């Protein structure tokens, strides 16, 4: 017996979304590009990063590395310096490795095939489909947290859908005529209207087709309160400057400021972190390929050179 077809938004619902996007969609610089390489850079930058931080960083990065060949020819240290302010530095190294793979195996052309895109370092199902839809006009659905919430609410009323069900629904709902705009539009709805708490259903272009909005319209008002266990958990969370992620970021920033590929001695104490924490952070950064540690001195390091 063949599998049941995936639920999908109707054509009139898609039209309403795109009409809203044309009037209300966020005007972001990288959305004007149709260069697959520039789009790949923007989508990697947008992973785990607020979109407004991406805009300036994207332009600056492309000024430094205007083509996939330029990025592939750079050293990891140069790429890490250009990535400053974005955080999650492994993304920069993965993008660099992806550029080298694109040059070596695809003649410097970003592949169009989703399976090939997913083979690139740091590129998962979401980023592969975002690039495929925006750069190449493929009618596929890119599913991130925002899209999961929008489609899950619209098609299932907020009930849990499996990853397979959701991906099928996203692909079936993608607008065949404007897949790139559709990808941007659904993400914008999730980011600005279909928020996790207090969604603005009355302003949403999908409200007439959305099962969640229909349920909300007939439900009694409710008040969300924080449970004692949540308050206790939130109070126990360590401040960001006490985390290893903060320490790693400070170390990489200091090495970015160093001259070329010279070894730099990292202070034995940074913020609240003592010498052992600094050495542990350097060791972890080295395992991730972000820095190199001097074999003769555990606190001398430099950005990765190869």
165 labelled catalytic: no
Q: What is the pLDDT, as a whole number, of residue 251?
A: 84
Cα separation values, 34 from 29, 37, 138, 140, Å:
11, 9, 13, 17
Question: Considering the domain 11-203 in this protein, what is its CATH number?
Answer: 1.10.340.30
Q: What is the pLDDT, as a whole number, of residue 280?
A: 87
For 30-65, the pLDDT digits (tens) are 999 999 999 999 999 999 888 888 988 999 999 999
Taking 70 as the pLDDT cut, the residues of the chain under it are 1-4, 217-238, 240-241, 259-261
Question: Considering the domain 241-303 in this protein, what is its CATH number?
Answer: 1.10.10
The residue annotated as part of the active site, out of 43, 165, 279, 292, is: 43
Q: What is the pLDDT, as a whole number, of residue 219?
A: 57
Each domain of the chain, given as residue ranges in start order, spans 11-203, 241-303
Torsion of CA 287, 288, 294, 298, to 10 degrees: -60
Q: What is the pLDDT, as a whole number, of residue 237?
A: 54
For 278-306, the pLDDT digits (tens) are 888 888 888 888 888 888 888 888 888 87
Topology agreement, domain 11-203 and domain 241-303: no
pTM: 0.80
Q: What is the pLDDT, as a whole number, of residue 83?
A: 94
| Length of the chain measured in residues | 306
């Amino acid at each position: 017996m063949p599998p049941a077809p995936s639920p999908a938004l109707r054509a009139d619902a898609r039209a309403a979304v795109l009409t809203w996007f044309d009037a209300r969609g966020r005007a972001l610089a990288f959305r004007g590009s149709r260069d697959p390489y520039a789009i790949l850079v923007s989508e990697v930058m947008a992973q785990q990063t607020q979109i407004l931080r991406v805009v300036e960083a994207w332009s600056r990065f492309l000024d430094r590395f205007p083509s996939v060949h330029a990025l592939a020819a750079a050293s990891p240290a140069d790429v890490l310096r250009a990535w400053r302010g974005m955080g999650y530095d492994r993304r920069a190294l993965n993008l660099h490795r992806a550029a080298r793979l694109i040059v070596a195996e695809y003649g410097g052309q970003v592949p169009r095939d989703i399976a090939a895109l997913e083979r690139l370092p740091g590129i998962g199902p979401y980023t592969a489909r975002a690039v495929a839809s925006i750069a190449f006009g493929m009618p596929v659905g890119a599913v991130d947290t925002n899209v999961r919430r929008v489609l899950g609410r619209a098609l299932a009323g907020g009930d849990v859908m499996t990853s397979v069900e959701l991906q099928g629904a996203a692909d079936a709902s993608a607008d065949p005529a404007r897949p790139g705009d559709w990808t941007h539009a659904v993400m914008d709805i999730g980011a600005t209207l279909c928020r996790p708490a207090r969604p603005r259903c009355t302003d949403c272009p999908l409200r007439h087709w959305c099962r969640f909005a229909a349920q909300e319209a007939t439900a009694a008002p409710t008040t969300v309160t924080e449970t004692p266990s949540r308050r206790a958990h939130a109070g126990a969370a360590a401040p960001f400057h006490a985390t290893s992620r903060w320490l790693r970021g400070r170390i990489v920033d200091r090495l970015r400021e160093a001259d070329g590929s010279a070894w730099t001695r990292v202070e034995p104490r940074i913020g609240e972190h003592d010498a052992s924490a600094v050495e542990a952070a350097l060791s972890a950064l080295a395992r991730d390929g972000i820095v190199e540690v001097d074999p003769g001195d555990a606190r001398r390091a430099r950005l990765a050179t190869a």
